[in-house]
A = this chain, B = another copy of it.
């Protein structure tokens, strides 16, 4: 698997943000779960295209996405921008800012979304007391590193259609991990945003979609995607120029 699929376990519907289950899905003792309440996370709602944080903002918290989805992007001086990721329910966002205490990238809601704010000071204090939480936090950060390196592999050594295939397969697995249909889903992002993420122009993204459809691998209707031939799409990835 090229792009790693973060582990995620959905439990019961959680209207009051149950940290131990949703935001930080780990197994803790009753006492530890109690301690975790010290985080006293706040939930915040965002509408489509709202900023969760902007580049240059002071870093205070990590955010666990409770529902909805976001994109993160870096802005380069000369106006270039690069989407560095699309995040969905259960994923943690904001890790890049720990290094400098300033957000290096910005996070924008792709749809109406709710996030759970996790003050980083408290998270660090708690993880000194709860080794399981400490290890979990380290794994989350490491997983982000592995994810980013997977994208480096993708950008550095795959051609356009392979990249798009990898992207669709990754989305498919992440939807499946959330109990959603794996072969039929709505894209929350534009061709332009997909292109930025995958290092290609929006026209190339569109052409690749059309080509996959012509090959009978998928069915595209603007942002509604159905994967018709999963194995075929996976084969796209391996059938590369050496």
Contact = CB atoms under 8 A, between A and B. Distances in A.
B77 A149 contact: no
A139 B99 contact: yes
A10 interface: no
Contact of A199 (B4, B155, B238): B155
Contacts of A225: none
Contacts of A138: 98, 124, 141
Interface in A37-74: 74
Interface string A126-170: 011101001100110111111011111101111000000000000
A142 B142 contact: no
Nearest to A94: B142
18 contacts: A74-B153, A76-B153, A76-B157, A78-B237, A80-B240, A84-B153, A95-B145, A96-B145, A96-B146, A97-B142, A98-B139, A104-B146, A105-B149, A124-B131, A141-B145, A144-B145, A145-B148, A157-B199
Interface of A: 2, 4, 74, 76-82, 84, 95-100, 104-105, 124, 127-129, 131, 134-135, 138-139, 141-146, 148-153, 155-158, 196-199, 237-238, 240, 242
